[in-house]
Amino acid sequence: MLMMAALAGVAAGCVAAGPAGMVRRLSAGTADAKVGMTLSVDSIDCRQDLTRMYARLWGNPNTAHRIDSLQLSAGPVLLEATDIDGVDMERWFQWEEDGVIAIEIDFGPVRELPRKMTLRAVTPKGPVVWNIERR
């Protein structure tokens, strides 16, 4: 049974990611206070055709922000975001009263996710760097 779970992770395109290529139990660092945006990663799903990150953006309620580009550094692999749901790239968005926006970020496929990764965002308020670590 353990061998089947390991093979399922490889078949899904992500080594050592667990059942169906899903990586859970992640943590992300906070952003610079002047930029005013924090990220928490819920999970990363590795598929044969893409790598999808499920996350939440945290910010001050009723304030606006914009993300122009996202880049995931996963070991030696550098992946540009191809799509984002929850907010639009290069368009202003606003946090509601709770200050949280659920997002899904798509990147190209990756075979293996390292224990430590870095997500970089380019915004009009300055660059943001989040360090992501599997626990």
Sheet order of strands, 38-46 included: 22-24, 38-46, 51-58, 100-107, 77-85, 69-74, 116-123, 126-134, 26-28
pLDDT at position 12 is 34
Q: Per-residue confidence at 111, pLDDT binned at 50, 70, 90?
A: confident
pLDDT at position 135 is 75
pTM, whole model, 2 decimals? 0.78
Q: What is the mean pLDDT of residues 98-113?
A: 93
131: Cα separation from own chain's centroid: 10
pLDDT at position 35 is 76
